[in-house]
Structure 1
């Protein structure tokens, strides 16, 4: 039995890269003190998220970093032998991508560019075009960013590619168009939790969901970081507060137990899912 401690972070990040790096360093230190082998930081933890999803200001966008920016070597040095997933704005020529990287002190293990772009994100970012899992010291991992997890096909593709753990990095706000008087009544708050649990249960995998906290422009971020087991059961969560959700589990053992009788991935009938348009 190989038991792993996994941490999902809820924290606020903005445009000040030095401040962001300081917060990332503190979260890595806190996760190390908890014995975590995997830490999932939020989307846009380097440079912050958009301040307005409906009308993004082209003069106030997150800094765009090249994939080989020295900042990743710095974060890798902080991570050491810990596996860390972190979100940022990636530059490729004149194009920007909402992106994530998974790394250790030994280097980059995997990358992802957000495929599904909500609201006006498409004005700022180009969409990624693939989902792929990759091997790490804590097992095979895949990454999703924000809105990606709304689509069951995203996590399903990663699970079919052998991902045991799916890291969901988010900067997920409360509802912009239909604000609720209490966060517990907020539609986006409910959907955020629902998607985390559904993606884990339907694929019988572990989902590690991070999110930003605080506010940017007119948006309030939900927090609600969590670790979800392969039965869709929440093992640890932060609720709306900043901090770490830390769970200890035998990932392979939990997945094997969930798939002992019903093996969803083996029982798929893709030939029956075609839709005529």
Structure 2
């Protein structure tokens, strides 16, 4: 622990190959990657969206699990065994609805919070139900906001995290490669928008129904970098290399130091005054 920066928190993004519908195989892959993250002393490990099954429309309902189903029990067991927080994407069944969801599990094995993807594209709206913006989850490893895949394309989907004082946005993702060109810029923008760190944990592999591959390109971004003249890449704390390979990337952050930096910037207060001017009401 640094006297001035406070204790460090190690974040890990687990870039994982997801085999459609092969739950047991996918869970075994996830367990290996989680073990690697623990060896690197990660405090928070982040798995991709729908890491256990993939998101395939023909088998959507049979692949989905409940909040107390086998996928969540697996995450709880891993969190307890490894003694760390885990964020992961889960294809969630709730009554007649199926959600592309994310859950944050604590080291005691208990779910600390759920989020159901709010931004659903038109082509999947007949299969996947839309959720609503989630609240920041206060944990020993930071104040965390959850997002899933397509959410990252919309500034509005994470704007509330700024006013809630989020330290970190975790986006668990499974995005198609052909639409990936602006992804690096978008992740950097979302982190800067919300004056926080961002973990983008992405899957690799192929969606056979759509006949497209997933992008990978996991990264950890620092949205509080203000002066990058000496190093234009200063805000990229870790990044998976090119190619459809599994890997674990990690970076250490110091929340105490970062909160002091954020408190000295005008963006948070200026958002409130700008919102009042434009919309005639205060941002919440």
- Give the TM interval when normalised to the shorter protein: 0.7 to 0.9
CA distance in 2, matches of 1:121, 1:62: 17
Is 1:26 the counterpart of 2:35 in the alignment?
Answer: no
What is the match of residue 39 of structure 1?
45
Of the three residues 245, 262, 266, the one matched with 1:263 is: 266
What is the match of residue 248 of structure 2?
244
CA distance in 1, matches of 2:134, 2:182: 22
Is 1:3 the counterpart of 2:14 in the alignment?
Answer: no
What is the match of residue 185 of structure 1?
none
> How do 1:189-228 and structure 2 match up within 5 A?
189-217=180-208, 218-228=211-221
CA distance in 2, matches of 1:60, 1:271: 43
Is 1:12 the counterpart of 2:17 in the alignment?
Answer: yes
- Cα distance, 1:3–1:21 mapped onto 2, change above 3 Å: same
The CA deviation at 1:255 is: 4.2
The CA deviation at 1:31 is: 0.2
Is 1:84 the counterpart of 2:86 in the alignment?
Answer: yes
- Cα distance, 1:62–1:191 mapped onto 2, change above 3 Å: farther
CA distance in 2, matches of 1:41, 1:148: 16
CA distance in 2, matches of 1:224, 1:273: 36
- Cα distance, 1:71–1:153 mapped onto 2, change above 3 Å: same
The CA deviation at 1:244 is: 1.3
What is the match of residue 178 of structure 1?
none
Superimposed CA distance per residue, residues 173-212 of structure 1 (whole angstroms, 9 cap, x where no aligned partner): 112xxxxxxxxxxxx3232111110011122101011111
Alignment TM-score, normalising by the size of structure 1: 0.87
- Cα distance, 1:255–1:221 mapped onto 2, change above 3 Å: farther
The CA deviation at 1:105 is: 3.8
RMSD of Structure 2 on Structure 1 (CA)? 1.8
- Cα distance, 1:62–1:272 mapped onto 2, change above 3 Å: farther
Superimposed CA distance per residue, residues 29-75 of structure 1 (whole angstroms, 9 cap, x where no aligned partner): 0000111001111001021123xxxxx4x356661111111432232
Unaligned runs of 5+ in 2: 1-5, 226-234
- Cα distance, 1:59–1:83 mapped onto 2, change above 3 Å: closer
